Amino acid sequence: MKNNKFYHIYTYGCQMNIHESEKLAGFLEERGYIETKEPNLADVIVFNTCCIRKSAEEKIFGNIGAIKPIKKKNPNLVVAVCGCMAQQSQMAETIQNKFPFVDIIFGTHNVNKFGQYLDDFNCKHEKLKNIEEEIQIIEGTPVYRTSGYNAWVNIMYGCNNFCTYCIVPYVRGREISRKPQDIINEIENLLKTKKYKIITLLGQNVNSYGKDLEDNINFAKLMQKIVELPYEFKLKFMTSHPKDLTDEVIETIANNDKISKAIHLPVQSGSNRILKLMNRKYTVEHYKEIIKKIKDKIPNATITSDFIVGFPTETEEDFLATCELIKDVEYNSIFAFMYSKREGTPAAIMEGQISDEIKNQRVNTLLKLEKEISNQKNYELIGKIENCIVEKKLENDDEYLVKTDGGKTIIVKDDNLNLLEFVDVKITKISKNQLYGEIVNNGGTNEETITNDATISQ
C-alpha cells in the first residue's frame, strides 16, 4: 500500500516560470508531498504554462492530453493547470472544455494561493477555476528551490511596456515592485544557509524597479543595498529593457565586484522601422550608445541579447540591418526567435505577415552568424583571467569544471579545490570548443593577462 504522496510539475517558458514552479512545489512539500519524475506515480500533477509562442501552447496541450489515461487509471489524481495560458479567460475555458479531467485552473496572478486551492479541492472535491485580474504580492510563501547554488528572487512582477508582439502585459498585468526590505530579508536568509552562491533577481523589466514605490529606491540603489550584505556571492539579474538602462545602473555594476558583469540586453531588431512597429521606445543609435557605455565602463562585460526575425513587414533590408548590428556589437551570444503571432496583441492583426519559410531562413542565418562571432570571442579569452565558481568535480581525480561570470565552462586541473568556491582562472587553451585553464589564486577580480604559453588546439 502506498503511504507517500507524490507530485510532478511540468514547467514551460522562462526563468520566471521556473521560479514560480519552485513556489508551487513549496506548497506541495509543505503538505507532505514528494517530487517524482514519473507522472504515472503522482498524486498531484501541475502544468505551469507559458504562452509566449504558439509552439509552447501546442506542446502543453499535447502533454495535458497525455495525462488522460493516467487520470482514468487513478481517479484520485489531482490535475492543475496554471500560468500564462490559464490567465487568459478564453484559454482557461478552452482547457476546461477540452480537458474535463483537469480539476484546478488558475492564472499567474494567484500562484501564491495554490496551497489554498489544493486544500479546498481535497476537502470538497469540487472543480475550481479562478483567474484574478490583479496580482497580489504575498510575502513569506514557501519555496522549494531546485536550481542548485543559484537562487531566483522576484523583485517585481508584470510589465508596462506593451511591445506589440508580446502577450506578457496581458497575462502578467502591470508592474508592481516588492518592497526593498522584503527583498533584502529574503536574500539574507538565503545567503545565511551558505547553500547559494548566485542570487538572480527576476523581473520582466528589472530596470523599472521601484517606480511604483514611495521609497527613494530604484534598481541601482536596490543592487547597492544587496551587495552590502556580508556574504560571498554574485548578484545577477534578468531581464533589462534598453529604454530604462540608466548610467547609474551601469556605474553600479562597474563599481561592485559582487555584481555579475554578464548583461542581457534584448534589442529584438537592428531596424529602426521595425523597432517602432514593435513599440520598443528606443532607436538602434540609442541602443549602440548604451552598449558603448557598458564596454567603456565594464571592459570585461559579457553582453548577450534577444532577436525576433520575421516580424510583420520585415524586409530583407530590415533583416540585414539586424545582421549588421550583431556584427557591430559582437555579442558573446544571442537568442534568436521566429516571430510568433499571439492573439490579442497589435502585431497579430498587422498586415505583411512573413512566411514560416522566410522566418526559418532568417533565424538560421542569425544563429550561424552568432556561432562565428562566439567562436572568435572564445579565442579572445585565451590568456585572460576570469573569476569563476567551482561547479563540478569531473571523473578524473584532479579535474574540475568551473563556470565564468558570463556562463562559459572551463576545465581546470587542481587537487585542492572546494565546490562552490570562487577562484581566479587563467584560460590557457581551447580544444574542440572547450576552454581549459589553470588556477591563479582563490578569489579576485577580472583582469586581462596575455601570456606566451597560451595555446589554441584545433
- Measured between alpha carbons, how far is 207 from 282 in angstroms, rounded to an integer? 15
Residue holding cell 588546439?
A: 457
Residue-level pLDDT at 66:
95
| 9 contacts 27 by C-beta, under 8 angstroms | no
pTM comes to 0.91
- Measured between alpha carbons, how far is 63 from 332 in angstroms, rounded to an integer? 35
Residue 332 grid cell: 558573446
Residue-level pLDDT at 310:
98
- Measured between alpha carbons, how far is 114 from 122 in angstroms, rounded to an integer? 12
Rounded average pLDDT per 10-residue block, the chain, 458 residues: 83 91 97 96 96 85 95 96 92 94 94 95 93 84 94 96 94 94 97 96 96 94 98 96 97 97 97 98 98 96 97 98 97 95 94 97 96 91 94 89 94 92 95 92 44 32
| 59 contacts 92 by C-beta, under 8 angstroms | no
- Measured between alpha carbons, how far is 380 from 198 in angstroms, rounded to an integer? 26
User: Residue 2 to residues 6, 32, 52, 98: CA-CA distances in angstroms?
Assistant: 10, 14, 39, 31
Residue-level pLDDT at 55:
80
Can you list the alpha helix ranges (DSSP code H) found in 137-266? Answer: 168-172, 180-192, 219-227, 247-254
Helix axes 219-227, 180-192, angle to 10 degrees: 30
Residue-level pLDDT at 2:
58
